[in-house]
Amino acid sequence: MADEANRAAFREIQGRMIEITGKLKQVQNQMRNKEGEKKRAFLTLEELRQLSDDTNTYKSIGRTFVLEPKSVLMNEQEQKLKDSETAIASLQTSKEYLEKQMVEVENNLKELLEQDPGLARQIMSMTVM
């Protein structure tokens, strides 16, 4: 009876670990995307700063280019930069939370395997396909 309860607990812990790993990868991908957006906004802003104020600047909208004042484009890029930084900070918090959850799940798994060495042997003897 205890053996079956330990197996069920192992399956639950395994499921949680898979779920947390997936969420962690998703957050890391989102952070990577936001870092790219931030870098593009920063580089565009640097290029716009080098232009004189009377230079004609154009904004891409789909396949069309629309004449926009330099100040409008700079404000948009500054806003994108701020939004990216905010999103990155939020995602970093989520990442840290998920990493803490992962450590907790790993500790639960270690504790379970220490309680039931027979279960640990069975898991080690399983073949991975």
The residue type found at 52 is S
Count of other CB atoms within 10 angstroms of residue 38: 18
Q: How far apart are CA 77 and CA 97, in angstroms?
A: 30
Q: Let me know if 20 is exposed, middle or buried by CB neighbors in 10 A (0-12, 13-18, 19+).
A: buried
pLDDT of amino acid 2: 64
Q: How far apart are CA 129 and CA 123, in angstroms?
A: 14
Radius of gyration of the chain (CA): 25
- pLDDT by 10s per residue, the chain, length 129: 567 888 888 889 999 999 999 999 999 999 999 999 999 999 999 999 999 999 999 999 999 999 999 999 999 999 999 999 999 999 999 999 999 999 999 999 999 888 887 777 777 777 554
What stretches of the chain adopt beta strand conformation (E)? 57-61, 64-68
pLDDT of amino acid 100: 97
pLDDT of amino acid 128: 54
Query: Taking the model in full, what pTM does it have?
Result: 0.80
Which one, of 51, 96, 101, 93, lies nearest residue 74 by Cα? 51
